[in-house]
Amino acid sequence: MKIESIKNKDLVYFGERIEPYFASSIIVRGMLDKVNLTKILGWQNGVRWIYTNNYFFIKKSDLDKINTTLLKKNNETYTKKLIKKCFEYGNQLIQTSKDIKKQSDKKYLDKKQMHKLLKKYLSEANNYMIFQNIALFEDMISDLTNKLVKKYSKNKKEYNTLLELITTSNRLTAIEKEKNEFLCLGVKKDSVSINKHVKKYSWLALRFFIGKPWTKELVLQRLKNYTPVKARLELEKIVSSRQTRELQINKVTKNFSKKDKEIVELIRNIVFLRTQRTDFFQESSYYVLPLIKKIATELKITYNDLLYLSASEVLLSLKNKFNYLTCIKKRKKGFLVFFDYNQNIVLESTDALKYIKQRPILKQNLKTTKKISGQTGFLGKATGKVKIIKSAKDNMKVKKGDIVVAIMTTPNFIPALEKAAAFITDEGGITCHAAIIAREMKKPCIIGTKNATKLLKDGDIIKVDADKGIIKIK
């Protein structure tokens, strides 16, 4: 398809991500893999994307076809198979990445060895990235959930309670396991256990090859907020809360029809997959990070400059078949990528700016209103000082009682979320990370505001009313 033929009306805004081209080239190319689309998802076609300035857009006609396909597959058996395959492919990706790390830790690698290792990783990653398409299930799951909750609710209170219960994961995510084990550290606080914890979970600080792995110092800093008694009581509270929640779910769904009980399990499976699908990728990036940094050094460019390139361009650069220095220079002035089925079409510098100018949707200026509201992620009210979080390095500026405001929350924001009184996000639906963590931490949360990070600034005092989905600046 020719990129020039895409009109403004053909695109749908998906979201903003601090995600370099290097990462998106790996993810989206895998999402569009024809063999796995059919083999794993049972789809005839995937969704084509446009990426520019950290904004992602979807070809509307592609998304419509996928939503139609998903409505025919909304059953528990389908999602259980997805979970099984996700773990099968994900564990293989992790094992391959660990093997690559062992070889990357050698003192010297020549270009040929680097090329071989990166190619090996990209092959395994491409096979796994088909599961990133689970992000496209959001609309279908939201519709199913709202219809089901309305069917069994007599009033708003019952609606909110049921919504909260059935949109919780039916198994623990990595970040929930980390919290359990972290609180155990708070009880023991022995050096050996802390070192093991860091080794096991430091990858949670990475997103799309950006960030710095958690260190022992960071874990110790988090532990300062806990006495052994406080850690033990909080862990007991969390475990008890999860057990109570499962009992409540069984109770409220007892009189559901067989079909509706299957839909509940479908929803809870997808909530789990939404987090797990990215966890495998982020963990794998942690293990291959040393290799990517060595490649940047070999090419005599900074690591951040390498991230302007696609993964395939890095491979070509290692074989001296790509003018990466000129390419990086142009892309720093602006660029846009159309991920078609079989190729990435890239516009750079003035060509990209001209293309964006002709399609207003690509500008994403959301400052046209001063009203900030969204969907309830978890009920409650809070008043506090705004702290805008865009990357893990912003975690340190959050103090106890602040309100975290983010485009979306991710596991690398956990140190900040633990101190926050409430969360607000621009993006997200009922299965998003912020809503899941808010339910786990029992903190007020408003998601999908679209403009909170644009209209609020650090230091603003705001009142969060998650019961009504409203934010007011005091």
- Locate the domains of the chain by residue range: 3-136+273-362, 174-270, 372-473
Task: Please name which of 293, 290, 324 lies closest in space to residue 309, comparing C-alpha atoms.
Answer: 324
C-alpha to C-alpha distances, 86 to 127, 209, 280, 343, nearest whole angstrom? 11, 21, 9, 25
Cα–Cα distance between 446 and 149 in angstroms, integer? Answer: 19
C-alpha to C-alpha distances, 347 to 25, 94, 182, 330, nearest whole angstrom? 15, 33, 46, 10
Interval 250-274 mean pLDDT: 90
The pTM of this model reads: 0.85
pLDDT value, residue 368: 52
Q: How confident is the model at residue 367 (pLDDT cuts 50, 70, 90)?
A: low
pLDDT value, residue 446: 92
- Spatial CB neighbours of 245, under 8 Å, sequence gap ≥ 6: 165, 168
Instruction: State in words which class domain 372-473 has.
Output: alpha beta
Q: How confident is the model at residue 290 (pLDDT cuts 50, 70, 90)?
A: very high
Query: What is the pLDDT of the chain when averaged over all its residues?
Result: 90
User: What confidence tens digit (pLDDT) does each residue in 383-423 have?
Assistant: 999 999 988 788 889 999 999 999 888 888 888 898 999 99
Lowest mean pLDDT among 100-114, 336-350, 363-377: 363-377
User: Quick check: 381 and 457 in contact, CB under 8 A?
Assistant: no
Cα–Cα distance between 146 and 24 in angstroms, integer? Answer: 32
User: What confidence tens digit (pLDDT) does each residue in 428-474 have?
Assistant: 777 788 888 888 888 999 998 888 888 899 999 999 998 888 999 87
User: What confidence tens digit (pLDDT) does each residue in 311-322 have?
Assistant: 999 999 999 999
pLDDT value, residue 224: 87
Q: Which two tokens stand for residue 93?
A: 């990706």
pLDDT value, residue 144: 87
Q: How confident is the model at residue 336 (pLDDT cuts 50, 70, 90)?
A: very high
Q: How confident is the model at residue 366 (pLDDT cuts 50, 70, 90)?
A: low
pLDDT value, residue 433: 81
How many C-beta atoms surround the C-beta of residue 309 within 10 A?
A: 24
pLDDT value, residue 371: 79
Q: How confident is the model at residue 152 (pLDDT cuts 50, 70, 90)?
A: very high
pLDDT value, residue 181: 94
364 pLDDT higher than 70: no
